[in-house]
Structure 1
Amino acid sequence: MDVRSFVKKQEAALKKYRRLYKVLDFLGTAIILYLLLFYFRIDQVFPYISSFEVRAGTSYDILGASIAFETVALSLIAAFFSLIITVIRHLRDDKTKAIPLIEEQNPELHEKLRTAYDNSDENNLIVADLLSSVSSKIAVIASSALLTKRKLVIGVVLILLSGITTVYIIDNDIRTNLFDQGQLGDLVNNIPGLGNGDSSSGNDVYVFDDSGNEDSSSSGTENLTGDTAIIVQDGKEVDLTIPAGSGVGFEEGDTSEESDTDFDQSSPYERSIISAQTYDEELPEGYESIIKEYFEALAEAD
């Protein structure tokens, strides 16, 4: 067997195994972090965060399955922190090359394998004899010999146990009783620039009770000309923003109630006075007598 080809093959296998350890560690840590986030009700905080309040309660259609926004958000948060933890944990990993590990596992190759590898391009009787001796011994060495089975077993078991536990807790909605959603919301609202109860941002949440009155526990002032204002009515968020030019205070098609009162409207002036004034007006020539008779008849009818 060619020594250089053997060493390159073992180096590639060693890198693959080390990546596998990191992936298993990342998945196990992410599942545990998701479990902790769900147990401590972090998904119930999203309606109180200005960046997430609009998406809270929605769902996404992924591969034909409806997945809640809270599930996706918790998964991303868990994956982000799991990546950081995994990178930190593996910063000091053993980065020993394949040759020293193989020589450690096979004492008969100690110093011989690296010597043969370094001098594989030489062409003399001593090197040829060394290469022949080393090749016969490495022919029976498999790449799986570099796999640390203990790390592999621990990683798989950790993923299985944490996954089963997470499914059970989510299915039964097991959560901590140390605090509730309202307490978490108050905590988030006290963080400047994060909670949607920050009055300076204009994104206030107004909670109304069943009778339609504003809950006294809610805080902030309504800002209809600023950013979006939200109220929570029966657990649902309602946007109170009035678009510019929409006619504040009026509804389209709003008409006043018609009166059914039937009455005859009186004249603003007495007809006798109106008739009397016509005699002073300049009448068309030839029609004076006819017009005078008309007004006299009209006055007599009163």
Structure 2
Amino acid sequence: MDVRDFVKKQEAALKRYRRIYKLLDLVGTAIILYLLLFYIGVDQIFQYLSNFEVKAGTSYDILGMNIAFETVALTLIASFVSIIITFLRHLRDDRKRALFLIEEKYPELHEKLRTAYDNATTENLIVSDLLDSVSLKVKQVASSALLVKGKVIFGLIIILVSSATLVYVVDNDVRTTGFTPDDLADVINDLAGNDNENPDDFVVLDDEENEAGNTGTENLTGETAIIVVEGTEVDLTLPAGSGIGFSNQEDAEEEDTDFERSSAYEISIISSQSYYEELPEGYESVIKSYFEEMANN
């Protein structure tokens, strides 16, 4: 058997097994996360969230089954978190090649298999003897030797146990008593800054402060303000009672404005005095009939 073909075959089998490990871990972790989310009442939080309160209590028709929005939401959340956890757990799995795993399981191939693999294209007496010896031994190696049966069995047990527990918890609506949805709503309101129970948090403007120390009103008729413009002193003070500047709207005198009524006249059609002025010759009758028709309309 060719050593390189053997190693490639084992690498492909190892990838399939690793995908099985990841799938079992993904499903088992997702079920456990869904169980925990349901137990602490996360599915009841959606009615307190402004973005999901409209969808809370609705259901979707999936494959002929009515599935509640809360179930779909918890499934998506548990699946997303499970993907992240599974990715982190198996991040270093692909770094170890099948060649080294075979050498670990078969000590008689230790360092011989990798040496034969690296020098498979070299032609000499020593390498040929090594390749023949390794080829005879790898014929006895099955791809199933790379499968860690303990991982598969453990993953299946976790899925079965967690699934049975989830069915029992959901059917009997088992919830934690230490943390209720009302407590979650209070936490959400606190995080959103909606706690308006303390009136001391508001700033109250005191009108008496403005009356006692009114610094926002300037005395425009007080002491003279002088500036110098090109060597000439200019007085900017507005004299009191001069009628210039701002005045209090309440103290302003109301001025009565008398309007003269226009003379009444009868609404009627008045013909133009220049009707016959500078009319084209030969068209007087046509123009006259045109204006008479417009006047009648």
- d(CA) in 1 for partners of 2:72, 2:162: 18
Displacement after TM superposition at 1:91 (Å): 3.4
Once the two structures are superposed, what CA deviation does each residue of 1:216-260 show, in whole Å capped at 9, x if it has no partner? xxxxxxxxxxxxxxxxxxxxxxxxxxxxxxxxxxxxxxxxxxxxx
Equivalent residue letter for 1:125 = L
TM-score by length of 2: 0.62
- d(CA) in 1 for partners of 2:119, 2:61: 60
Equivalent residue letter for 1:99 = L
Structure index of larger Rg: 2
- d(CA) in 2 for partners of 1:43, 1:198: 24
- d(CA) in 2 for partners of 1:109, 1:22: 29
Q: What SS does the aligned partner of 1:191 have?
A: helix
Displacement after TM superposition at 1:93 (Å): 4.3
4+ aligned runs moved over 6 Å, structure 1: none
Once the two structures are superposed, what CA deviation does each residue of 1:93-127 show, in whole Å capped at 9, x if it has no partner? 47321112111211221221111111111223332
- d(CA) in 1 for partners of 2:5, 2:137: 14
Mapping for residues 96-135 of structure 1, pairs under 5 Å: 96-135=96-135
Q: Partner residue of 2:280?
A: none
Displacement after TM superposition at 1:73 (Å): 0.2
CA contact (8 A) 1:120 1:131 kept: yes
Q: Partner residue of 1:68?
A: 68
- d(CA) in 2 for partners of 1:184, 1:132: 70
- d(CA) in 2 for partners of 1:118, 1:182: 66
Equivalent residue letter for 1:33 = L
Q: Partner residue of 1:35?
A: 35
Q: Partner residue of 1:162?
A: 162
Provide structure 2 residue ranges, at least 5 long, that are not aligned to the other structure.
197-297
Q: Which moved more, 1:63-72 or 1:96-105?
A: 96-105
Over the matched positions of the two proteins, sequence identity in percent amounts to 65
CA contact (8 A) 1:45 1:188 kept: no
Equivalent residue letter for 1:11 = E
Mapping for residues 131-210 of structure 1, pairs under 5 Å: 131-192=131-192
Q: Partner residue of 2:246?
A: none
CA contact (8 A) 1:31 1:78 kept: yes
Equivalent residue letter for 1:119 = N
Displacement after TM superposition at 1:87 (Å): 2.4
RCO higher in structure (CA 8 A, sep ≥6): 2
TM-score by length of 1: 0.61
In the comparison of the two structures, how many residue pairs are matched?
196
- d(CA) in 2 for partners of 1:94, 1:121: 26
Once the two structures are superposed, what CA deviation does each residue of 1:3-57 show, in whole Å capped at 9, x if it has no partner? 1111011111112222222221121111111001101111011011111111111
Mapping for residues 1-302 of structure 1, pairs under 5 Å: 1-93=1-93, 95-192=95-192
Equivalent residue letter for 2:142 = A
Q: CA RMSD in A?
A: 2.0
